[in-house]
Amino acid sequence: MTKPIIVGSVAYDPKIVTIWDIIRDYFNEKGVRLDYILFSNYEAQIEYLLSGKIDIAWNTNVAWVRTYELSNHKAQALVMRDTDIDFKSVFISKTKSGIKSIQDLKGKKFGLGSADSAQAAILPLKYLQNELGESIKDVEIIRYNSDLGKHGDTGRSEFDVLEDIKNDKLDAGAIGISTWVRILEESLFSDGEIESFYTSEGYCHCNFTALDSLDKSIKKRFVEVLLSQDPNDPIIKKMMQMEGLNRWVLTTKEELKGYDVLTEAMKEQDLIKNNW
């Protein structure tokens, strides 16, 4: 019996089982044996990938940067969601706050999400430092480490920030663009109550990561089968809606540039080490 491709994924939500059952069944129907292992945090998943206990990991951008750096650049990003390209961080405040720019945050309370979330903490802190320099000491940073280990996958810490802005415990805070879009689309806050005053440049989010040591034919077949998924197929469409994508796309050199700013921020903030 051919050894299955073992893929790692973090179980940040019960729907992950449904998502991966659909992906596993699709691969098996295509004649490619695949199974998955669920982890409770990305640090454990990174360790399993680096030690060869799994073949491929569904990584956040933070997990990708750590894997790439800790493997001495012997890791490869294979495929990502179309929605992982041009991801952004958004700074928000109450509309009546009078905050219109990062400079207006001096003397204010600013909320950052979980410390291992690229969109809600790591990159927002870098953007504040870039804009304010030494004056960042004039901003009171409040941390919301609600999702540690999940790398911001659940967005819980982002909603904690939002709630405290709403309840006037914070003057402003950082969230990911996907959370901001959800707030607008689902009208989760009173119309016009909260507004954005800063949107970052685009960067990249998750990708499927493999080590260079993984057989090239396995990587090639994994990519081929994943890219063959038809978004119009009802079962695949259901999986893609739950996973938050419209289609899978190759991770090329161009997309890899979208991790540069996060790599720089993680090195500046001493976050490359994989503490577990």
Residues 170-188: pLDDT tens digits? 999 999 999 999 888 888 8
Q: What are phi and psi of 35, to 5 degrees?
A: -140, 170
Between helix 156-166 and helix 177-185 the angle, nearest 10°, is 60
Residue 151: pLDDT band with limits 50, 70, 90 = confident
* Per-position b or e across 143-169, b if 16+ CB within 10 A of its CB: ebebbebbbbbbbbbbbbbbebbeeee
Reply yes or no on whether the pLDDT at 111 is more than 80. yes
CB count within 10 Å of CB 255 equals 17
Q: Shortest CA distance to 64 belongs to which of 174, 211, 202?
A: 211
Residue 258: pLDDT band with limits 50, 70, 90 = very high
Q: Long-range contact list for 46-55, CB < 8 A, 24+ apart?
A: 46/70, 46/274, 46/276, 47/274, 47/276, 48/8, 49/8, 49/209, 49/210, 49/211, 50/211, 52/211, 52/213, 53/6, 54/6, 54/7, 54/8, 55/5, 55/6, 55/7, 55/210, 55/214, 55/218
The residues that bridge with 142 in the sheet, in sequence order, are 111
Q: What pLDDT is attached to residue 170?
A: 98
Q: What pLDDT is attached to residue 190?
A: 79
Mean pLDDT of 254-266: 98
7-66 pLDDT tens trace: 999 999 999 999 999 999 999 999 999 999 999 999 999 999 999 999 999 999 999 999
Give the angle 207-210-214 at the CA atoms, nearest 5°.
Answer: 160
Q: What pLDDT is attached to residue 94?
A: 95
Residue 152: pLDDT band with limits 50, 70, 90 = confident
The per-residue pLDDT of the chain, averaged, comes to 95
Reply yes or no on whether the pLDDT at 154 is more than 80. no
Mean pLDDT of 98-120: 96
Task: Specify the pTM.
Answer: 0.94
Residue 191: pLDDT band with limits 50, 70, 90 = confident
* Per-position b or e across 177-204, b if 16+ CB within 10 A of its CB: bbbbeebeeeeebeeeebeebbebeebb
Mean pLDDT of 81-109: 97
Residue 1: pLDDT band with limits 50, 70, 90 = low
- Terminal CA-to-CA distance of the chain, rounded, Å? 34
The residue behind tokens 């004039």 is 138
Q: What pLDDT is attached to residue 155?
A: 77
